Amino acid sequence: MAKFFKRYAAYLFLGWTVIVVLSFSITYRHNRSAAMERASVEASAHYKLTILYRKVISDLGGVYASTEKVAPNPYLLVPDRDIIASDGKTLTMVNPAYLTRIVFEAFSEEDELPVLSKITSLLPRNPANAPDAWEEKALRAFEKGGTETVATAEINGEPYLRVIRPFLTERHCLKCHLDQGYREGDVRGGISIAVPLRPYYDARREAALRIFGAHFLLWLSVGSGLFLLAKKAVRNAEAYEEARMLSLHDHLTGLANRRYLEIDLKESFDLARRYGNVFSVIMADMDLFKEYNDAHGHGAGDLLLIEVAGILLREVRRTDLAVRYGGEEFLMVLHQTGMEEAVAVAERMRKNILLGTGLTMSFGVSSYHPGMSGKDDIIAAADRALYLAKEKGRNRVEAA
């Protein structure tokens, strides 16, 4: 039973460990994907903001700024690009595309890891707006109905999430781009956003450490509880096994006692009657043991009994049963053993007892047959054979 509890506790602990590992893996994977989702949300926010202020500027028809602050846009080909204000200052038109570039450049100068933004087109007026290979592929996909392209890439040695979405030609766009052949509703280009991933990776790493720490503490606390419960259960099982063994074994010799014999013989008889199994019983008694006790004392007698028990136990198989039947009497149940083989075993025991102790022992052997009504019959037969061995001079084996 103790082995069962140890095995069950090991499986339980292993199962708990698997549950914690799975929970950590799922949580870590969710945290990893959540980091990318947050970066994607940031890119989407930049895109929407860009579209919004482009629309506001377009609805206003463009805004004018002093040329002392903003250089004229050489790619803006409209008649009223530059005007003279009433105070004599020269103003230049800032159209949506030009304002977008100014804002994007301001973003890139504000942060060590800036969000990189860019308006790009397959037909750019400004060469700086020409697409790279990845953007060009996305723009061509937009012309076929695509709505977004996302990828991770390394820019200036840093990891970035790149997102590009299309922007369409609106009526006010034709003021500057009609000569390029665009019509209202055409894909005129894309807004390319690159969000730095290092802050998200750092946050993800910190979250992963917290997740690991929480899972480890949970695993350790519950695992410790399981260990203590298992240890207590094993200790109780071992105590039960020990008590059971003590109740079924002779305290002096360690052999089985008569209670164990009752259980074994009942099972043996049931199997013999149901399946025709054969088994035999050997009854043995130390010759002149009382005289030995009187001459050497009870302590020496006990040591002799222990030595004899060890010799008898070595001569039986693990499947057999050796019993201290009472006093100096011993009984062996040999399973799956007929009369002839049982007599041979008893003869070996007799010779080894004589060689090992210098004393003699008498043996009686009986085997099961269908005429026997119960365990008392086979024991009685062995006892009669033992009595016959004593009558014929001791130190011999007799069969019933």
Name the architecture of domain 258-399: 2-Layer Sandwich (3.30)
Instruction: Quote the pTM value.
Output: 0.52
DSSP string, 93-104: EE-HHHHHHHHH
Task: Look at residue 70 and give its three-state secondary structure.
Answer: coil
- Asked whether the CA dihedral 119, 123, 125, 127 is positive or negative, the reply is positive
Residue 97's pLDDT is: 74
CA 58 to chain centre: 60
Tell me whether residue 265 is exposed, middle or buried, using C-beta atoms within 10 angstroms of its C-beta: 0 to 12, 13 to 18, 19 or more. buried
Provide the pLDDT for residue 184: 72
Assign 105 to helix, strand or coil.
Answer: helix
Q: From residue 100, give the alpha-carbon distance in Å to each of 120, 353, 368.
A: 11, 108, 106
- Classify residue 192 as left (phi > 0), alpha (psi -120 to 50) or beta: beta
Sorted by where each begins, the domain ranges of the chain are 2-59+95-202, 258-399
- Give the model's pLDDT for residue 361: 97
Do 258-399 and 2-59+95-202 fall under one CATH topology? no
Name which CATH class applies to 2-59+95-202: alpha beta
- Predicted pLDDT at 347: 97
Q: Which helix (DSSP H) or strand (DSSP E) does residue 177 occupy?
A: helix 174-177
Other C-beta atoms closer than 10 Å to the C-beta of 196 total 21
Predicted pLDDT of residue 177:
62
pLDDT at 238: 65
Report the amino acid identity of residue 274.
R
Predicted local confidence at residue 187, as pLDDT? 79
How many CB atoms are located within 10 Å of the residue 296 CB? 12
The mean pLDDT values, 10 residues at a time, for the chain of 400 residues are 68 86 86 84 86 77 83 81 85 79 73 83 85 92 90 91 85 62 75 90 87 89 84 70 71 94 93 93 96 94 96 95 96 96 97 96 96 91 97 96
Q: What is the pLDDT of residue 178?
A: 58
